[in-house]
Structure 1
Amino acid sequence: MKPLLSAARATRRPGFGRHMLRLVLALAASLSPLALQATVPVPPDPLKRVELSESERLYVALTQRITMCVDPDWEPFERINAAGEHEGIAADLLRLVAQRVGLELQLIPVSSWDESLEASKAGRCQILSFLNRTDSREQWLRFTAPIFLDPNVLITREEHPFIADAHALNSKRIALPRGTMVEERIRRDFPNLKVVLTHNEAEAIELVSARQADMTLRSLIVAAYTIKKEGLFNLKIAGQIPEYANALSIGVLKDESILHGILDKGVRSVTPQERELITNRHVAVKVQNDVDYALVWKVVIAATLVVIAVIAWNRKVGELERARAALAEQRMEEERRARLEQSRLVALLSHEVRTPLAIIDGAAQSLKLLLDSGDDERLRRVERIRQGVRRLTALTSQFLAKDRLDDETLTLRPEPADCAELLRGLQGQLEDGDRIRLTIEGDCSLRGDANLLEVALRNLLVNALRYSPPGSVVGARAVGSVHDVMLAVADNGPGLAPEVRQNLFASYLRGADVQDKPGAGLGLYLVKRVVDLHGGAISVSDAAARGTEFVITLPKAAVAIDSLGS
């Protein structure tokens, strides 16, 4: 699939994770030069006092403690932990406000946000901690100035296109937590969307990942936190509705006008630096761009051992064979550990950059919408940014797939999978997918890991499109028989010389004659691993006309192979 991989000149690509990180940082810097400037937030000052009126001071002296209801499951904004304590960004901000006005907060235990709303309407809690202003809530609440601002973004699966206008979507399912501002406004403003109610934010995002909903509209901070915590890396930010930004305030019962004035003054005393410091306690954004000194020292130690071995060779010729064997064993172990460290580093970096890449792509798409259609130069620059993001996203997907497939404890998760449907889906998702000519024969369903099979087929099709002449047709066949399914992908490239095929499925291996093509040398390695896990076989041959054809044969029944060593 990769033409003319010269075995004599094929080289591994060391330090690939480090190069990838530099590209990410350069891309982020090109979008926002100020984003990387260091700031040192001033720690919040709980001893700072807010100046109150005489009636407000009297209220504080007579009341001292006020009751509060919260959302018990809204991380990282707030939650009630196992010990019954209020914690999170909202908890820290409200404690700071209460300390500055001289009040204590008494938490009313609840099990859901709906229960908090009902308790507030019944007057059992004087304030609600962290919520948006809506028409229905203004019937019984007063709202302070916003204590926290955060955009809401549309979260979809990776294959979903960018959403420029949610009004243009028809019958799409949007998952939303019940009783929220977003639910109320979406029902009013977007009758074209079908609302799927959930109990909390995490459940809404998980429904999208599991294909039980098409999208959700959630806080950027909550979405990034949940995606990273739950490992839902098949999701992306596909757009936003600017007028739906979160302006989170404290809700105070309408008959508590003096309390409202007191808390509003407390909220206005909180500085942006204090909000930033409190936010960073719970949602830390880390950019690791320093040198991995542990790996450097391992390399230095290995090199030192080699020098010592050479000296010993010259001094003790009689011990040559024994020293060589010991050194070879040690070097093999060190090389294995170094590869393991590199693999873990690359996987870690790939996890960390997925959400920033999605944010960068979303920002670039938003910028494109704001530019004048005749501004060709700036539109080209925005497109170059998006092309870079797409390339890095594809690379991180391959690194994460390799990390999973290299795990010796990996267990295959067989389920009914239709290979014909997988090919049709990829034909619709891939760029230039209209160049793929599909041929389906017989029943192509089997029991296997659908996600891993999609990874293998995607890599074969992407390579076939990449190395075939522009505009040429790429062939893809699925043939089902009684006991197995045969899958074949043929390109129209120059073909492969027989002597280079023996190393075709090695990782990080690329020929010098394809360095101008994007890629990391992982595609065919991942294909081979997936096929082996399913107890199948893969072969490569010359296509009927020209180019190369890869043929995979998979058993229809689930195999008993749980894992494979790396």
Structure 2
Amino acid sequence: MLRYLRPILFGSLLLATAAVNAVTIPYCVDPDWMPYEGIDQGKHVGISSGFLELIDQQTDWQFQLVPTESWQQTLAYLKQQRCVFTPMLNYTPRRAEFLYFSDIYSRSPNVLVSRHEQPFLQSMEQVGDRSLAIPRGYRLLDYVRQNYPKIRIILAETEQQGLEMVSSGEADLFIGSMYSINARIQQSGLFNLKIAGWAGPEDQFRMAVTENAKWMLPELNHLLAQISDEHRARLYRQWSNMAVLEQTDYRMFWQLLAVATLIFGALLARNRWISKYNRELTAKNQQLEQLRNQLLETNRELEFISTHDPLTKLYNRHYFHRHFAAEHRSNSAQGHTSLIVIDIDFFKEINDRHGHSVGDSILRELAALLKDGAREQDLVARWGGEEFMIICPDTDCVQAGRLCERLALAMKVYPFSAGVSLSCSFGLTELKAGESIWSAFDRADLALYRAKSEGRNRICCDPESDRADKISSNSSA
């Protein structure tokens, strides 16, 4: 009996509280869906927290977070009315059985993710017999089952698990939101994954309330309609490590095409409106050109994301592998190629003492210093954590050692954040004909290990490299 009375009593309490303008609104979020929303140390974070803050500033509602462990638990709490509001989700008929939805206040594209060896896909129709991982309870699961019943689905408990399935080969593809996928790939180091194509439908984000809180909807819709596009873009930039681009609305494309067709027929019948309709047709064509340019810009952004480290903007490990193979093929028969591995000395102590924000600033500053200090033909990349790599074409180990000395000297005089005095250890090797990247990296890594074990702030060359004897085995940087 208490189970049936609780929603009625709770709804009455909300209404009574509303009468005196002091409403406490218990709400739930997806605890693991960054950058859209999440829970960090008991606090609501992400893009939806920014929208909720705008609502909170303009009402007397007191929003109280009810923590959950998963999106499935959030939906269960909403059904049970343990929370009566959620700030960011998509509409589905199944959710509409127990929720009331606001107007759409934000949109975001969905994409397919695959390993690098998989081809790019133009649409969901090209999935074919590939397996597709989808998180349990997500709207996209119902969409794929209804519209593409022949696709072989593998259920994942979370987005993270779904991406790891693709990375390990357990699944061929994953479908999800572009912004959250990009964040997870970068944070988890799943650099063998790429965005393989667009996947419909786009996310159309709304807020939702339960039966006992549907009185909130008129005010919610009024406040959401006042949020400017500039403020939306600022929230996306704040919480996302990629540039915010407006998703192309293809429904508008077809509407414009239909309007253009009607205008053309009207021109034939009514000559006195020819001039007016020609101007309108020109305007529509300009809009279509703008849509095409947006799509090209989106493709360029996706290419940049797949090849660059989001923190330092240096090339990432994926691009390094690809460039290494091409560079080694072009130089193996006619010249020398050297590989340098660089590791920041005592970086963990810097983070522990000054905080991760200072650590991130130092990584960015060192990346800029390495890029400026390297030669035009050299390729500088972030390998991961506090480790960097440099490919030096047409360079033997002696010349590479001189480059390391110049970089080490530049670090001594550079004013790093928080007054940190920074040094690095260097391991270098000269590539052998036909050698794989992993073999060369292992030798350079052994040289780096020797530099660190002999006191750090040193330059060590792999003894197997040609002319290695010209470099001191433990040159002080």
Task: State how far apart, in whole Å, the 2-side matches of 1:401 and 1:209 are.
Answer: 15
Q: Which residue of 1 aligns with 2:336?
A: 504
Task: State how far apart, in whole Å, the 1-side matches of 2:324 and 2:19 are.
Answer: 66
Tell me how far 1:391 sits from its aligned partner: 10
Amino acid corresponding to residue 96 of structure 1 in structure 2: L
Tell me how far 1:65 sits from its aligned partner: 0.9
Equivalent residue runs for 1:196-275 within 5 Å: 196-242=154-200, 244-275=201-232
Question: Structure 1 pair 275/395, CA: closer, same or farther in 2 (3 Å)?
Answer: closer
Tell me how far 1:109 sits from its aligned partner: 1.9
For 2:63, what is the secondary structure of its paired residue? strand
Tell me how far 1:208 sits from its aligned partner: 2.4
- Out of 153, 158, 167, the residue aligned to residue 116 of structure 2 is 158
Amino acid corresponding to residue 198 of structure 1 in structure 2: A
Question: Structure 1 pair 388/165, CA: closer, same or farther in 2 (3 Å)?
Answer: closer
For 1:152, what is the secondary structure of its paired residue? strand
Task: State how far apart, in whole Å, the 2-side matches of 1:396 and 1:106 are.
Answer: 39
Q: Could you tell me whether the CA contact under 8 Å between 1:460 and 1:524 is conserved in 2?
A: no
Task: State how far apart, in whole Å, the 1-side matches of 2:316 and 2:15 are.
Answer: 57
Q: Tell me, yes or no, if structure 1 residue 101 matches structure 2 residue 101.
A: no
Structure 1 length-normalised TM: 0.45
Amino acid corresponding to residue 223 of structure 2 in structure 1: G
Tell me how far 1:249 sits from its aligned partner: 0.8
Q: Which residue of 1 aligns with 2:74?
A: 116
Q: Which residue of 2 aligns with 1:77?
A: 36
Structure 2 length-normalised TM: 0.53
Task: State how far apart, in whole Å, the 2-side matches of 1:241 and 1:182 are.
Answer: 10
Q: Tell me, yes or no, if structure 1 residue 64 matches structure 2 residue 26.
A: no
Task: State how far apart, in whole Å, the 2-side matches of 1:387 and 1:143 are.
Answer: 33
For 2:58, what is the secondary structure of its paired residue? helix
Q: Which residue of 1 aligns with 2:138?
A: 180
Q: Could you tell me whether the CA contact under 8 Å between 1:78 and 1:88 is conserved in 2?
A: yes
Task: State how far apart, in whole Å, the 2-side matches of 1:75 and 1:140 are.
Answer: 25
Question: Structure 1 pair 552/148, CA: closer, same or farther in 2 (3 Å)?
Answer: closer
Amino acid corresponding to residue 112 of structure 2 in structure 1: L
Task: State how far apart, in whole Å, the 2-side matches of 1:394 and 1:86 are.
Answer: 29
Question: Structure 1 pair 216/403, CA: closer, same or farther in 2 (3 Å)?
Answer: closer
Q: Which residue of 1 aligns with 2:263?
A: none
Amino acid corresponding to residue 217 of structure 1 in structure 2: I
Equivalent residue runs for 1:42-441 within 5 Å: 59=18, 61=20, 64-82=23-41, 84-242=42-200, 244-283=201-240, 285=242, 400-401=316-317
For 1:191, what is the secondary structure of its paired residue? coil
Amino acid corresponding to residue 74 of structure 1 in structure 2: W
Tell me how far 1:77 sits from its aligned partner: 1.4
Q: Could you tell me whether the CA contact under 8 Å between 1:536 and 1:555 is conserved in 2?
A: no
Tell me how far 1:403 sits from its aligned partner: 10
Task: State how far apart, in whole Å, the 2-side matches of 1:391 and 1:62 are.
Answer: 51
Task: State how far apart, in whole Å, the 2-side matches of 1:396 and 1:201 are.
Answer: 22
Task: State how far apart, in whole Å, the 2-side matches of 1:272 and 1:555 are.
Answer: 47
Task: State how far apart, in whole Å, the 1-side matches of 2:70 and 2:301 are.
Answer: 39
Tell me how far 1:137 sits from its aligned partner: 0.6
Q: Could you tell me whether the CA contact under 8 Å between 1:56 and 1:259 is conserved in 2?
A: no
Q: Which residue of 1 aligns with 2:5?
A: none
- Out of 437, 447, 455, the residue aligned to residue 564 of structure 1 is 447
Q: Could you tell me whether the CA contact under 8 Å between 1:174 and 1:195 is conserved in 2?
A: yes
Task: State how far apart, in whole Å, the 2-side matches of 1:221 and 1:128 are.
Answer: 20
Gap regions ≥5 residues in structure 1: 1-54, 287-355, 364-377, 405-451, 465-488, 490-495, 511-519, 540-550
Tell me how far 1:90 sits from its aligned partner: 0.8
Tell me how far 1:205 sits from its aligned partner: 2.5
Superposed CA offset, 1:193-219 (max 9, x none): 222222322332333233332222221
Q: Could you tell me whether the CA contact under 8 Å between 1:142 and 1:251 is conserved in 2?
A: yes
Tell me how far 1:104 sits from its aligned partner: 0.9
Tell me how far 1:505 sits from its aligned partner: 2.7
Q: Which residue of 1 aligns with 2:419?
A: none
For 1:61, what is the secondary structure of its paired residue? coil
Higher relative contact order (CA 8 A, sep 6+): 1
Question: Structure 1 pair 240/563, CA: closer, same or farther in 2 (3 Å)?
Answer: same
For 1:67, what is the secondary structure of its paired residue? strand
Question: Structure 1 pair 522/192, CA: closer, same or farther in 2 (3 Å)?
Answer: farther
Superposed CA offset, 1:10-69 (max 9, x none): xxxxxxxxxxxxxxxxxxxxxxxxxxxxxxxxxxxxxxxxxxxxx999835366111211
Task: State how far apart, in whole Å, the 1-side matches of 2:147 and 2:298 are.
Answer: 30
Question: Structure 1 pair 104/193, CA: closer, same or farther in 2 (3 Å)?
Answer: same
Task: State how far apart, in whole Å, the 2-side matches of 1:65 and 1:563 are.
Answer: 60
Q: Could you tell me whether the CA contact under 8 Å between 1:101 and 1:263 is conserved in 2?
A: no
Q: Could you tell me whether the CA contact under 8 Å between 1:536 and 1:552 is conserved in 2?
A: no
Amino acid corresponding to residue 38 of structure 2 in structure 1: R
Question: Structure 1 pair 401/58, CA: closer, same or farther in 2 (3 Å)?
Answer: closer
Q: Which residue of 2 aligns with 1:436?
A: none
For 2:20, what is the secondary structure of its paired residue? helix
Q: Could you tell me whether the CA contact under 8 Å between 2:336 and 2:393 is conserved in 1?
A: no
Task: State how far apart, in whole Å, the 2-side matches of 1:89 and 1:394 are.
Answer: 23
Task: State how far apart, in whole Å, the 1-side matches of 2:302 and 2:104 are.
Answer: 36
Tell me how far 1:281 sits from its aligned partner: 2.3
Amino acid corresponding to residue 58 of structure 2 in structure 1: R
Question: Structure 1 pair 525/118, CA: closer, same or farther in 2 (3 Å)?
Answer: farther
Task: State how far apart, in whole Å, the 1-side matches of 2:164 and 2:127 are.
Answer: 21
Question: Structure 1 pair 504/107, CA: closer, same or farther in 2 (3 Å)?
Answer: same
Q: Which residue of 2 aligns with 1:475?
A: none
Identity of aligned residues (%): 22
Amino acid corresponding to residue 69 of structure 1 in structure 2: C
Task: State how far apart, in whole Å, the 1-side matches of 2:151 and 2:306 are.
Answer: 30
Amino acid corresponding to residue 251 of structure 1 in structure 2: A
For 1:206, what is the secondary structure of its paired residue? helix
Superposed CA offset, 1:107-152 (max 9, x none): 1121111111111111221112211000111111110012321111
Tell me how far 1:238 sits from its aligned partner: 1.9
Tell me how far 1:455 sits from its aligned partner: 8.2
Question: Structure 1 pair 455/185, CA: closer, same or farther in 2 (3 Å)?
Answer: same
